[in-house]
Structure 1
């Protein structure tokens, strides 16, 4: 292979340790899907009945798509635009078609970040209000629903606060910003949720929630929708969209075992979802309620209503929203990184200027979409994320080819991956991205 066709070696910022990279990837994966959607799916589809297909799909996607995006980034040392261009250069002798395709996942990442920044603004406000005791004395879903309406309508200040915090971290780069921030936020996220889970376990009635989480109804496994929604949950939870995982992989050293790192990311992402379930579902059981719907209503209306009625509810609410804020902010950082890196790579902007430009665009557009943020995020997730994942998979597994892929995947490993890896990734995973897209369109979103 003509090495002159590879991306030019140049000094780039990068992760300073394998665990820094893993924690950053965990941070990108852990988000609202783990907190407000996974417990809802567990509740709707019968605990372990949902867990079984979910874990199957997590293993499948982590061992193909996650590895592929990490390795694609590392192989090219560029973001999606450059990586896609490098793939077509090596195969067809031209970057143009690949670079044009690479714009798609970067644009989607920016659009997702803009929508997510609205939600992070809500979380910032609830975290502040929880500390300030604003919700003390409030009771009933109607009161908390009205409070959420006020927060959503007056989100400009807190959305700006969230954006400033995010960009301030990104300005310091990969090792000095993203890695350091996630080394603090991710351990604290898990520690806080473990603390909440331990506290909930002491409350009368919590055992009914645990029983439900681990209840297995074998007949439920014959329901196709259990498998469809388990696939969607696993796919979106692992942040496969041809962008975020790829850009983090581009900052990774060649001595790192990528398949091992992908396994750790999948493990901790699953643990985060289970921890959220071990807090939220028992809380519902303690209150004698059944979890029927997820989304913002669960996080900002229904759960605060229950917290207000619990012993020590104010402290519980503070800890809960601080943990949620860490999860939301770490995901937002990842979503903004690819657009920022693209400005650096192709327009020669400094890190600071790139962060400022993307931050201003994100804030202005985010303030303009307040009333349509749900629809905005639906379009991004239902349509654009699977397409981005499909494009990245095709570029890496189909365009770059088996020899190049296996060479990259085996770097840093003591033993090469099995012969199963490439065909499973090339055919099965690429097929999975199409299934996720079609199912999302048919059912109005599955993740």
Structure 2
């Protein structure tokens, strides 16, 4: 046998839970609320909805159609469309390399969340959460450099994260990923609903919600606001990672691709909106308790999660421990479901490339990814690596991968009509001309502008005021190195892939003959 029977999801609900789990991650909780607040408040929901309908869902359908039609990992699926396109799947943080780089640092944020669930019970951060996080907990060095020590308080939870993730992946698509997400996603929704309910009862919650949702319609004339909306949709739906191509490859032959894309897209956006309500209700309380405006406490990212929220928890008149467990527990679950999907892209690609069984691939590839993560990030210098990796791989990996995917398949190879035909053959909602217009014109233009805007800023000032040498090695080096990796791997002869292609084509021809 050249090819083992490809794994499949047990149910459509299982696939949707996994797809939603991949999309709903840390960025939904700590990025969307602040992006909306900074870009017009309630008025931002208009460009956000337009972006979802003209880019998010169409791109999801594109990824689903590629994975479902070619029934392979991202590199092999792209190779089966056209052999030179395989480099998109392997390279540039595109998309296997993207997932490798993100996985090694994403896991440590989940590990921090685990520790802060425990810290919330006794509020160990004391009166200065900022000093506690940077000096006592992660013991961050003043600047980047060679690894100078090891932090057991970060290493042990990080090891636990990797043990859980690799164990779930080793169990397979149906028995591992699907079953885990069927537990994690309902639990995440319940935890966050309780969190939001508690936040809405706090003094000052209304002030926070007014700050978030009061529309500033004048910002709708600002092109940067619309770019921010498209950027948020693109990042939050995990489109440029190769995840959705991989997940769709495990669907059954008859699968409602358009319906699934709409459910996943709107579920992700609904959770982002729910996160905005919970976060800004809590920030409104913090502002009221401090006697300042919401704009003075509003923040995002690590500052929101590990500094602002501990301050809020310490200030709560009652239920602080519960609020902390709910918030950081939600972060951990959202992070785990996304991390599982990220590592699965690497495992699936290596299985297709080498013919390794699932357990072998998880042990070798997942184990190597975990080892690098565990060696690099529980160190005083780990935060600086995380910051630069995250910035460069997001700005010049994910966006460029998505842009390349659309340009190659839409403009150069002109495969959109073929993929549209495939989607319409298996889906309840048929695609029309609008799908090809959005992917062929609107989305690539906007992604191209995002790249241009980022590069213009990047070339005029050093990101985060880091030394140029460090940015060159850990930033540009990672981004360009991933591109080189993709190109080199795609040029290596892949006899197994040729055999797989022949077998799949023979099977498809046989099925056509039986009809």
Q: Is 1:139 aligned with 2:127?
A: yes
Q: Is 1:102 aligned with 2:115?
A: no
**Could you tell me which residue of structure 2 aligns to residue 303 of structure 1?**
309
Larger deviation: 45-54 or 73-82?
45-54
Q: Is 1:438 aligned with 2:481?
A: no
TM-score norm. by structure 2 comes to 0.79
1:376-387 correspondence runs (5 A): 376-387=389-400
Of 309, 320, 340, the match for 1:313: 320
- 8 Å contact 2:208–2:283 — kept in the other structure? yes
Q: Is 1:123 aligned with 2:136?
A: no
Separation in 2, partners of 1:162, 1:77: 29
C-alpha change, 1:126 and 1:62, in structure 2 (3 Å) is same
Larger deviation: 316-325 or 359-368?
359-368
Of 52, 63, 74, the match for 2:68: 74
C-alpha change, 1:137 and 1:418, in structure 2 (3 Å) is closer
Separation in 2, partners of 1:219, 1:354: 53
Q: Is 1:330 aligned with 2:353?
A: no
Larger deviation: 272-281 or 219-228?
219-228
C-alpha change, 1:142 and 1:379, in structure 2 (3 Å) is closer
Task: Tell me by how many angstroms 1:395 deviates.
Answer: 4.5
- 8 Å contact 1:26–1:269 — kept in the other structure? yes
**Could you tell me which residue of structure 1 aligns to residue 493 of structure 2?**
none
Separation in 2, partners of 1:331, 1:137: 27
Partner SS, residue 361 of structure 1? helix
Deviations 1:35-58 (A, max 9, x none): 111111223234212222122112
**Could you tell me which residue of structure 1 aligns to residue 483 of structure 2?**
none
Separation in 2, partners of 1:295, 1:267: 23
**Could you tell me which residue of structure 1 aligns to residue 504 of structure 2?**
none
| Structure 1 unmatched ranges of 5 or more | 1-7, 89-94
**Could you tell me which residue of structure 2 aligns to residue 276 of structure 1?**
275
**Could you tell me which residue of structure 2 aligns to residue 244 of structure 1?**
243
Larger deviation: 432-441 or 348-357?
432-441
When Rg is computed on C-alpha atoms for both structures, the one with the higher figure is 2
Q: Is 1:256 aligned with 2:255?
A: yes
- 8 Å contact 2:96–2:346 — kept in the other structure? yes
Separation in 1, partners of 2:229, 2:206: 25
1:328-407 correspondence runs (5 A): 328-366=335-373, 367-369=375-377, 370=382, 371-398=384-411, 399=413, 401-407=415-421
Task: Tell me by how many angstroms 1:380 deviates.
Answer: 0.9
TM-score norm. by structure 1 comes to 0.90
Partner SS, residue 282 of structure 2? helix
**Could you tell me which residue of structure 2 aligns to residue 5 of structure 1?**
none
Q: Is 1:218 aligned with 2:217?
A: yes
Deviations 1:421-443 (A, max 9, x none): 22322232233332332233334
**Could you tell me which residue of structure 1 aligns to residue 52 of structure 2?**
58
Task: Tell me by how many angstroms 1:136 deviates.
Answer: 5.1
C-alpha change, 1:285 and 1:167, in structure 2 (3 Å) is same
Separation in 2, partners of 1:414, 1:235: 25
Larger deviation: 392-401 or 324-333?
392-401
Give the paired residue count: 429
Of 24, 30, 48, the match for 1:36: 30
**Could you tell me which residue of structure 1 aligns to residue 15 of structure 2?**
21
- 8 Å contact 2:99–2:241 — kept in the other structure? no
Larger deviation: 375-384 or 416-425?
416-425
C-alpha change, 1:332 and 1:296, in structure 2 (3 Å) is same
1:98-247 correspondence runs (5 A): 98-104=85-91, 105-130=95-120, 133-135=121-123, 138-145=126-133, 146-150=135-139, 153=151, 154-247=153-246
Task: Tell me by how many angstroms 1:397 deviates.
Answer: 3.3
Partner SS, residue 411 of structure 1? helix
